[in-house]
Every structure is written in structure tokens, then in C-alpha cells.
Chain A
Amino acid sequence: MRRSVNLRQPLRLLSDCSCSSRTASPTTRCISTSSNTATRPRAAEQRPAVRSSGQCRTYAHNPHKLEKKKRWEARNGLVDEYIPETDPALDLPELSIPINIKPPGRVRLAPSPENIDDSTYIPAASGEGLEEVGSVADWWENDKHWAPSMNYVGFSRREKITDAAVLEAMTRRAVVETLAVKHIEGDRALTGTWMTGGREAMLKALAVDVQVSEDGAVSLTGDLQAVVEGLKPAPQAEVQEIEPEVEQLERQEGLETAQETAVQEEDAAVVSDQEAYSDVLPSEDAHQLRKSWGNSWKSVSIEDPTLKFALNKRIQQLTGHIINDAKLITVRNVASYLSVLVKPPPPKKLVELLERKGDLPSLPNVKVYPRRVTPVDKERMVGRWKVIVNELQKRDLPVTGTAGYSKTPEKKWAQAKP
């Protein structure tokens, strides 16, 4: 996943500068769009003046590029002398906001050949064969230049749950949570932001008993208040001055060897995975729970659109499955929701699909083969392969393949080929 750097504040400062101020500053050049300036004068002093802010556009916003360009112009004799200037637009205030990225440092230029004291130094005539140093092309591809907190975190679960029993358990959890919120906090709370919750919140929700009476009324027995509390965000800890994560990473790098860091990263990854998936029920437990629940709870009606939407959103958050609107409209109760949600993964091969459907292989006049029927298979079917093998072995001939024998040369002669 590529990430984009959001350097909004410095860019805003640059873009806020009016064009007239840029014309006063020699660091910015504007190119006129009118046709009478088709031939551009060589000297920088003779460049056409900018008419108005509406008629020009900035050549570049990047001050580093402009500096580089001016340096190049000085080298090539386009201007008399290059004097590094301080542009008020470039004097950005020190940012007090901690940035969780590490931008590349300033570009350092190698000294020109005239300034080198070593008399044996011979400058290269071409770039071929020279080692490339100091490139920033892959800077943002390196994870060390990003804080882990900048990684994208979506609403849905990252990996979809595929186990049918676990999906059913998660649906039950969502049903209990949705009904509990509706019961305790009302319909308005159904559109609120709910935390994913950890293992404890899941176990509390699964412990609630759901009973559906004949007239369709649903009764929940259990600690509903705890279930609702589990959906709310945890109270924030004391506000501390947050050290930028990148700096933390740098400090860590300085203190530890590379090997230790690698081990720690691995451990951290394992721990973070465990944390992320601690709310998933083991498959065995889900199977046992499914047996104990029975099917009566699946008759809970979800015809109320607010309830259905809240349930669908919660299931998307917990399982990673998105049910589209066309299917959602047909859903009347939990059983029909499960029939849409729990479906086996699509088969990779046609044979698997045919075996699953079962109508074609069950016909007495149909035979479905899982792999290609080879000539050897055809001989085996009529019981001739054994005879062929015996006869070939008797003559000391290869059973399969050519054993290095070439094709008959007579054929080549008959075709008059060289």
C-alpha cells in the first residue's frame, strides 16, 4: 500500500504568497501566456515582467528546485553571480506539531572539479559505470521513514472471516449488541460509532440469551448494560506530551543493534496480530456454541430498516463482509441474513462446482473426470495398457517417451528434407 505525505502546512504558506511578491523576489519566475513573448530572452534580467497575478503562473513552487536552477544559471553564465538569498516565503516557522514522517534531508552537492585539491583526480566524462549515491527515489518506500500510526486503518475487518460457525457467532454477537443498544439507548444510538471491542466484549455479548416468542417478540437475558458499554470507546488516559513516533524509532535504532531490532519487530508484529485478532472466536468454540444455541434465535425479525442497517454495519465491522443493498432488501430475519452472509468460497475449478452441485455426476450416463484424460488413461479403461506394457518390456522398448531415440530418418528422406 502506497501512502501519500500530507505536508499541508508548508505548502499552504507557499501558496498564500501573492504573485506580486514573487515578482519582487528573484527566486520565482513567471512565464507569460501571451503570444508576443514567444522568444524568451537569455539573460535573467531581461525577462518580461509579470503583468498581473491572473496572467501568470508560477514556474515552480518548490524552493529547492528554484535554488538549484539559480545555481545552474550561475554556473552556465546566465547570471553574473549566484548569491543565496533568503526569501521570506522560505523562512518557514518551526513546526511545533509532531510529524510522524521523516523527510529526506537537504541535497548536498559534490564540489566542482576546480575546487578539488587532489591533482590526480580526473572527472568522469560520462555517467556510465559511476556509482549512484544519495538518491531519494525510494525514500517513502522505506517503512523506517513512516510512523506505524500512519498506516491505513479501515472500518471493515482487514481479513474476511470464512468459517461458517464463527460467522454465525459474530452475527449473534451483532444481533445482541444491536438489540441491546436499541433497548437501552433507543433508535438514535443505532447510528453511533461503535468500537470493535476485544475478547471480553465479545464473550459478554455471546453470553446473552436470546429467546423469540411465537408472536415474534424478542427477549434478551443477560448483562445488557455491559454489552452496551463494550461498544463505547475506552476512557482516555492522561494527556502526555507525545513524542513523535519517528523520533522514537530513530532513538530505538541508535540504542539497539540491527539484529535486536529485527527480533523486536517480529515480536511486535506477532503481538499486534494477536491484539488485532483477539476478538475472533476459535472455530471449535464457535461450533460448540452454535449447537447450544439451536436455530430458534435466527427467527429474530430485522425488518426495521434502522435495525437492519445497524446490524449490517456491525457485521461488516466484525467480519469484513459487505452485503450489498440488493441482497439486503430481501433479508427479513437473521436466518435469511445468514443465508446471504455464510456462503462457501467460490470454487477454483469447474469439477469442484459440479461435485458440489451434484446433479451432473449423479447421472448414470455421465462421467466427470477431475483431470485430463490421457491416451494412457484410455488404454487403461479398456484394459489394454497392461498388455502394451508387457509387450514393450519384452522388446526392451521404453514404455513412455522415446528413451533418446530420434524420429525415423526415412520420413525425412521421403519428404526430401535436408
Chain B
Amino acid sequence: MADQEDEEVFEIVDFTSASEWEVFISRLEEILLSWQLSLKDKEEVVTSFVDLNGDWKSSSEDISFAGHPFILTHHWVEQSTVTNEVNKVELVTDKKGCQVFASLMDNRHDFPFNCLPLAKYYGLSDFVVITPAGNEMLTSEDRINLLLSSITIAVGNIQSRAPVFVQIHSKSQQLYQGTFECKNLRTDFQMVHLKRIPPTCKCLSGLIELFKDKIGSTPLEPVDLSICWTYSLSDVRNGGWEKWPQPPPDFESMGGVVGNAALGQLGFGAIRDPIKEIRVSAVWTGLNEDVVVDSEVYSDLDPVQAPLWIARLVLNEQVPSLLIKSLCSFLDLCRSSESIEQLLGKNYTVLQSPDSPEYERALGALTKERKGYGLLSSNRLPFGSKKAQTGGPIPEAMMVNLLNYLFPDAEGDLESQTHPYPEQFQTDCSASIDSTWKEFFSAFKTSPVDSLVWRLATAAVYTMTHLNGIEGVAHLWHEIVLELRFRWEHGYTIPGLETGGVPDLNYCRLYQKLQMLNCCINHKKAGNSAPPVEATDEDEFYDAEETLESMEATPQKERHSVWNQPQGRKERTKMKLLRSGETLYEPVTQALLPMTEDMVEEQSEMMEQLGDNAEGSELRARILSASLLSDMEAFKAANPGAEMEDFVRWHSPRDWIEEEVMTSDGCKMEGRLSGRMQAPGNLWQEMWRAAKPIVAWRQKRLFDDTKEAEKILHTFSALRPAQIATLLLPTVMHASIHRLLEELRPNIQLPDAVSNCRAAIAKIVQIARHSPLDLQQYEDLLPVLQKIEVRLSQFNSLRRRIIDYGDWEGIDEFVTRLLIDGNVSLTGGSHSPAGKALLKAMGSLNKKDTSSGLPSPVKKEFVLRAMAHRPGNGSTCSCQKLFCSVDEDSVRLAGAWTQDTLFY
């Protein structure tokens, strides 16, 4: 380069008349140089073995020849571990150190399964291909030759280390011609693909003859052979899959009356068989022509005795799966816009509390026997409309099934329930799931596993998928709201919810609302019944420790005037009232205000709005003091004659300060209110003065059960199916991942499925906390879930197939490796455990009774290699290779013929 720059600038070099092929060659050289393929002034580092199933890379450039556009692509395998074992491959040629020749002659490169066709035919790991751009095809012999000779020049000029191929004829045919030159040896790559199979190509003996013919001279050593016969275990060709266990669920049986078992579980599994076929190849390498006979009439080759078998898996792409399908339709439901009335007609309009006698009558008869479903049946006797209501979209028998599943207590005792709720809800996960997943589950803001909301979610998915879609969901919800109203009005607790007393804010809002409804029901029940049994003075008789006092019970009672009788005593304490010396009783107090998340948010928002100044503080205190006042009044009622000091000792014991005081009688404990309780103008004192002795059940209700319950039921009945679905969506997602984990048995080591599960769980935990809910985020989860579901279906399907023909300790590992790597080498061939099972499977497919017990192979592949002097005996000895692949309807021959360009 430096020399050129120093040249005389006045000397004109004329390129204007350069021909098209000269331009092409220089452009080709330029690209090959830019890809650093030139070996000029370089020693090539030869890697003896490259895994052709490895990581293929490519880069492309445009190039044109006489106005025809071409694409030049460089393909190569990215080598993870580069080993410089030049000496290991002992080439017979004295031209050592050429990667292409080493690759061609290395039989470890034979029969790769996951690489470009060219790599497979020749065992190459680094090459360049010129392909006509667009739909153009190279068919004319002249043009192919012109292109090839131009390439030969370019490759020779720059001493390319990679062979260059030209793709000819139609692209799908994968036909190439190519050339390579290294140290005065030129290799021509030639290929034919024939529809009619000449008899010589069908067996080894014919091929060897052909090979030797083509070489033209006698090879130095006997021809080296690699052979691979491939058998297929597939449904189509051998009609064999029907013999495998049928993996996909049978939909027909689910259409009609479905067993409740199907109700409780979300669907799982691929709808079509995810496994297309298993291919088994029997492989022989390192044979030579003298030891093996394989002719049309006789063959030494027995695949059962082959030293190596390779099992390969061919999957069906894009297999739809049940869970994802139902989730998709559920998301559609979330996006729907119809109201229940629009879907089901006027008979299903929002129901207010019905007061009609008809309604009562309808229920009266039913409630004698049953706890619930009053309204399901009363649906036949419609209120509000005189006309008998025609059945909803869900057939009655099915609806009873669904309702029995959701409200099993209506069926009667625990024993008679088909689907009783678990005694204790598992917040983490069920026993069927590997315990290592437990930690992930506690963070779900959804609902406990197998709770009412959980069952609602699975029932809604089930209804959406298998029963009348959106109309079905509308119908189901309508019945559920009726059932809930029935339970509220008749004081039956709603089953399937944790009985914590107050809504648990760790769960989703729907769950909280239902818990709230239960609070209302329980509150109403408690309110309607007689006042709770009080801890009366009489109780003291049974109190052993204070017999003395209890003897005085009667006179004690008389100390209170008629209008000042103690009321609402809950429990005695060890304390005595300061003034009267009577026992201090803990009063019965009003139940605490249960609140759902939205109520909490509303309240804290209101609190915040009051501001953070002193006035705000006081207002807040006054608002929140309702319960304090209620407590004070109840306390006064239970303890007539009590002082504020007495109240503080019960309510805020740390504000009662007891100190030892030295008096004339010695040491004595003396108590007083803390400074802050004594402080003048103190709200506590103010309230104490205002408080009247009123027993809890006569007080103004802090919690209005009717208002709350009606509010919830009204909201419920006005929900559109989309809103219902949206409320259930987080739980549906939780149930889905739960379902997938049930399938992921602990001993399955599918790293991708496991990591996808982790990712999905983390995402669900995160988005389930989002409010308002973002549908798109849920939608985005589906591909991950699908991957898991398909992978697990593949595993199940494959395992079921194999296990039918042999069960051994390593079966899970074999299935896993086959799934993940796509292939498994079985050393020992049919004698390995997996080989035995596969042999048995193939034997069962074989209808013709052949000696080997195997069906005929779907493909036979041969690789023939030899070193020979070409073209003449004086030429350098060089490598010759022929690859031949014969399947049922075609044969492909790919030869690499090397010859000396100097010595003929």
C-alpha cells in the first residue's frame, strides 16, 4: 500500500474499460477481504473438530454480476472453545494446516442434525455462499460456469480460507456448486439431486464403485466409510402413533355433563400432539470397504448391532394448548362490553331486595331442606315477571353442578358434599406442588387456594371455555349474586372464605368483599339474637378463687339502683373500681369496623385531606373517637359508678402510673393518671364526661351491616361480565401457574420451564398488586405461560410414549435431554436402556416381518472418503469425499473432488 502511494501520480491507470466480470471479481475480493477470509501472509490455525450443531453465525453483502443482483453470505460456527490441535489430525498430504481439508476428512463431522445443509453435506464449519437475490434462479450451465470461474479467480487471488459456493436451481432444492483452493490444490464441490434413484445409489457397493470411478485413480487406502440409517417413529408414515397412548384430553366427553373433577381444575395440555416424530439413527463410523458388504442382495449392516444410536426429536410447531386457549378467551371476556341484561334479557335485570310474597313463598318451601340455592330454583318461579322464565344459557343440571361446587354446604353435611372446602386454606400451595415453590406463593394478592374466589375463577374459566362463553358467565354470575343475596337475607354464612372476622387485605378485592359480606351476615345474626350471655355476678359462684366475694353477690347487686343496673359485662378483671371497690368488668363492646381495601383507601384519603395541622389532628381524633366513645359508654354501663381512672386502667394501662409512696404506714402503692390524661382540655376527659352508660347493643351502630351488605350486593348485581372477569383475573392467573406447577413434577429438570415459571410468578405477584388492573400486562404473560405449558406437554407426551416400551431409572433424564438438546447419543445403540425401549417401539411399528425386526429406514446416509493422487499419479495426494443421502423418493450426491493444479 505504501508503495502505491509513493508511485508517480502522473501515471494514469485506466479502469474504464474493465469488463463486468473484472468488476465482479474485484468486488468479491473486496468483500472476502473485509470478512478477513484471506490467508495471504498468514498461517492458518486449524481446529481439528468443530461441533457443527453449535452456534451458527452469518453475515451478508450485496454483490451484482452483469446487472444481476446476488447476495454473498458468510456462514460460520462460533467456536466456544478453540483448541489448537493441529497435530491431532494427521493429514496424509504434506500440505499441512488447512481447515477445509481437515474438516472434509474428519469423520466426527459426519451426520450433524442441527446445521445448514451445506455443512451437513461436507462437514464444513466455515464457508461462503452466493445466492441469486430475489426469485432469480441460476439454471443455465454457461452462467453457472462463468460465475464459478470468476469465483475461482477471486478465491485464488486472495487465498480464501473458506470455500465459496453458488446456489443453483430452485432454492428449496439446496443444490450448490463450489470451489476452494489451497496451496495448489483445488477442490470442486459438485452436487446432484435425483428424483429417480439409480440402483447403484441404493447400496454401499454401488456407491463405492461410483466413488472410485469419479476419482479416476486408485485410492491410497481402502475407502473410509460412515453410515447412518434413520428410522422414524411417527404417526403418519407408519400409522403407529395410534398405538401410543392418546395424550390430548377428549373434548367430546366434556361437552355434556361434566364430572366435577373437571370443574375444579383448569384445563392443561396441548390440543394436538406436540411430538411429531422421534427419529432414531443407527450410526457406524470408521468402517472401511474391505470389512463391510452391503449390496442389493446382502448386507452386513444390522442397525440393532450398530455401536451408536442417535435419538432425535421432531416437534410439531405452534401446537395450541388448552390452558392458554382458555386464558385467551378469558381475556376476551375481560374486554367485552355487554351487560348481563343485554346478554340474557330483562328477566335477569338487577335485582333489588324482593319483598313480594311470591318470593317468600318460593323460598319458604326450599329453605326447609336446603341452605342455599333458594334462588336458583326460584328462578323457575320468577319474581318481577309473571311469565315463567325460560332456562338460561347453562342447563339446569350443569348449573346445579357449578353451584354445588361453589357452595358445597347447600348439599348438606360435610359427608354429603361432593366438593367440600378444605378445612384450612393453603395460602402457599397444595401438596401436589414441590415445596421449593412455596416461598413464591405467599406474596400473591389473589385468594387462598381452593377458596370460594379460587373456585369462582376456575368455574368462570370453565364456563367461558366449555359452556356458552360470555352468556354462560353472565348466567353463572347472576345465579351467584342471587345465592349471595339469599344467604345475606337468611343469615347463612358464605362458605369457602377464611373466617378471620375482618376482610383480609392481603387478598384481592373480590375476596375482601365476600369476607365483608360474611361480616355483615354474622353481624346481623349476632344482632338479631338475644344479647350475649353476660358475665353476671352469679358467675362468681363458680369462680373458685373468690368464694368469699361471691357470697356477697346478692347484697352487691342491690347496691345499684334499678336504673343503674350493670349491663353488658363481658369478663371480670382482677382490678377493682377505685371508688366503690367493686370488681372492674371488661364490657361487651361493639364489633370492630371491618373494612375492605377500598374503604381503607377512602378513609386514609379523607384523613389526609384534613391536613397535618392541629385542627386536622383534632378533627381526625374526633372522627376516630366514635369507637372510643362507644367503649367508654359500654364501660360505664358494665361498671356503674366507674371513674375515668378505672377506664384508663382497662383501656390504656400505661397511662396509669403506680408509684411506691412512703407513708406513715410504710411502703404503699399509689396510682395516678399520667400527665397527659390529666392535662386540662384533654379530649379523653371531655369524652368521658360526655359518655352515658349505654350497653353496646343499644348504642348507635358503628357498623351498619345492612348498608354494607346492600351496597356490596348491589354492586355485584350491576357488574358486567367483563368487570367480573377483571375481578377474577389475578386469581385466574394464580390458578394457572398453580396448575402448571402441578404438572411440573419435582423430579423433572426442565431448566427452561422452571425459569419461566419463576419469571411468570414474579410477574403475577407484581401485577396482581396493581390497581387498577392493566389487561395488557396480563396479556403479555401468556407467551411465557404458553412456553411452560407446551414444554410440559411435550415432556408428558414424550415420556408416556417411551415408558410404554421400557421404564428405567434414567428415563426422565433421557426425555429431558431429548427435549432440550433435540438429540441424544446412545452409546451402545440398541443395548442402552433408551435404545432398548426405542427398539421395542420400532418393532411394534413394524408390520413387515423383516429379519432385524425393524421397519425399513426412512433415510440412508453414507459418507465415503479416500486420499488419492489426482488428476495424475504424479499429483499430490489429496482428499476426496462423497456424501450420499437416499430417502424414499430421491437421492442426493454431494462430492468434493480435489486435484493438484501444478503437477498433472
A and B: bona fide binding partners: no
